[in-house]
Amino acid sequence: MAALSARALASQLGDWRPLGATPLYEALADRIRLLILDGRVTLGTRMPAERLLADHEQLSRTTVANAYARLRELGYLRSVRGSGSVARLPALEPGAAPFSTPSIGERPEPGVVDFSKATLPAIPLVAEVAREAAELLPGFLHETGFDAWGLLAVRQAIADRYTARGVPTTVDEVMITLGAQHAIALVARTLLARGDRALIESPSYPHAVEALREAGARLVAVPVTTDGGWDTEALDQVFPRTAPALAYLMTEFHNPTGRTMPAEQRALLLRRAAEAGTVLVVDETMAELGFAPGAVQPPPFAAAALAQPSGPRAEVVTLGSVGKSIWGGVRLGWIRADRDLITRFAHARLAGDLGSPILEQLVLLRLLEQYDRLLDARRADLRAGHALLTIELARRFPTWIVPPVDGGLSLWVNLGQPVSSQLALAARAEGLLVGAGPRFAVDGAFERFLRLPFCLPADTTLAALDLLERAWARVGGSAGAPVAGPDDEVLSAVV
């Protein structure tokens, strides 16, 4: 059974102490409950002994004992003889309040508004294209139907698209994966040995953090903020100091801040990565979702890599997907990399899966034929969703700081107070799932932030905001100027 040390739990807890009159034990129990619900404390994990957590958090043992007792009463901990307290979820009674946070890909309970995922519903064309794809299937039935690289025609279509966007690409530099998530995990376990360092942005996409950790990486974080973007000094220093084997980055419409990395920082990143021998893994699942009117769609990050001056060159692995642009249900993405690396990924893949399904690849092929037109339509939807969300946020939550973004699917909103986890719990009680800031942290920070998607249908967005208003009132959210807390200085150093 996995055990969580007091130190590891404390770093996940972040700044959990209540601002108001909530008793300490209750606030502690609430925060641990959210960690369990969010999957940040894995079910079945043994929690630290009461005494150790009390020492670490400078609490009385009674406070921790009361918090654990409360969690047991609510069904989030169970006592195991000889093993202390183990994380669990309460059994779901018929009609009971929902409890589980579906992470991306899971379903929320009926009646719950899910505002925790930044993914678009499918375009109706997917069904039509799927019928056409089925008609192509007989042409493939005489073959084995699977291989680790993917259908030649699909790889060719993707290679052609990169070439047209300024990055000449051949078919053997492309591999079809089961979505970008599969690609992240595959690249991580192929390129990382246990104990290697991996660079990650902070905040970042939570399931990438998990995939890197699962591959045994020790994470080093570079801050990205909504107003300052990437911290140039950190980018400059982290490579010589830590020599990461891999860096996972979202240089276009970074999830969750929405920032895009400027050209000078790309050049710096490439220089430092080349010197340190770091492979840059650039996740471009969001890259073509810039919706500013008249915006020119940027070339892939790999274009900057091609422009590197002579001398050592940084290796760039590009990840793409139709999960954010067309529909997550198509479940296909791709990797673009040097031919030798693609071969390594293909060989490493076989231990986990043997290839991507043919029928879905035929769907992808059809979608790629009209991808530019589909992207235009998506961008128009996102522009409208973004306008709706920003107008509604300004009206309903005038104290929140809403950053300007011109692409991607979500906003990284500053609540002005470190209450994101409390708000997420209150929202849950109202029947709304939202992604609390710490969900995007490498190590429990961002209590002032909340990620809000603008890619959902307007009626879902409005229903979610109604519930969010009620939750905000529950946590004592106030109109008036944003409250600067004592941890502002500390947070500004990391976010």
Ligand X SMILES: Cc1ncc(COP(=O)(O)O)c(C=O)c1O
Q: E-strand spans in 259-361?
A: 279-283, 316-321, 333-336
Q: Output 71 or 219, the one with its CB closest to ligand X.
A: 219
Give the shortest CB-410-to-ligand X separation in angstroms: 9
Q: Smaller CB distance to ligand X: residue 16 or 205?
A: 205
Minimum CB–partner distance for residue 164 and ligand X (Å):
21
Closer by beta carbon to ligand X, 175 or else 471: 175
On whether the CB atoms of residues 421 and 12 are closer than 8 A, the answer is no
Cα–Cα distance measured from residue 107 to residue 493, given in angstroms and rounded to the nearest whole number: 36
Nearest distance from residue 331's CB to ligand X, in Å?
Answer: 7
Query: At its nearest, how many Å lie between ligand X and the CB of residue 330?
Result: 9
The minimum distance between CB 343 and ligand X, in angstroms, equals 22
Q: Which is nearer to ligand X, 148 or 250 (CB)?
A: 250
Shortest CB 205 distance to ligand X, Å: 4
Q: Which residues pair with 224 in a beta bridge?
A: 230
For ligand X, the closer of residues 278 and 321 by Cβ is 321
Task: State the DSSP string of 252-268.
Answer: SS-TTT-----HHHHHH
Q: Which is nearer to ligand X, 417 or 461 (CB)?
A: 461
> Which is closer to ligand X, CB of 113 or CB of 180?
180
* Angle CA 183–189–190, to nearest 5: 85
CA angle 109, 115, 296 (to 5 degrees): 140
Nearer to ligand X, 255 or 414 (CB): 255
CB-based contact 219:264 (threshold 8 Å): no
Residue for token digits 């998990």? 210
Token look-up 């974080």 returns 221
The minimum distance between CB 261 and ligand X, in angstroms, equals 14
First to last CA, the chain: 34
Minimum Å distance from CB 22 to ligand X?
33
Residue 204 or 278 with smaller CB distance to ligand X: 204
> Which of residues 4 and 286 has its CB atom nearest to ligand X in the complex?
286
Q: What is the DSSP letter of 312?
A: S
Minimum separation from the CB atom of position 285 to ligand X (A): 4
State in angstroms the smallest separation of the CB of 120 from ligand X.
Answer: 11
Q: Which residues bind ligand X (CB under 6 A)?
A: 104, 179-181, 205, 250, 255, 283, 285, 321, 323, 328, 333
C-alpha to C-alpha distance for 133 and 114, rounded to whole angstroms: 31
Beta-carbon contacts of residue 156 (< 8 Å; ≥ 6 apart): 171
**Residue environment code for 335-363, b if the CB has 16+ CB neighbours within 10 A, otherwise e:** bbbeeebbebbbeebeeeeebbebebbbb
Peptide bond before residue 102 is cis, with ω within 30 degrees of 0: no
| Minimum distance of ligand X from residue 63's CB (angstroms) | 37
Q: Which residues contact 86 (CB under 8 A, 6 or more apart)?
A: 1, 44, 45, 46, 47, 77, 78, 79, 80
For ligand X, give the closer residue by CB, 255 or 422: 255
CA angle, corner 99, sides to 97 and 103, nearest 5? 140
Alpha helix locations (H) across 307-370? Answer: 339-349, 358-369
Alpha helix segments (H runs only) across 137-262: 152-164, 179-191, 206-214, 232-242
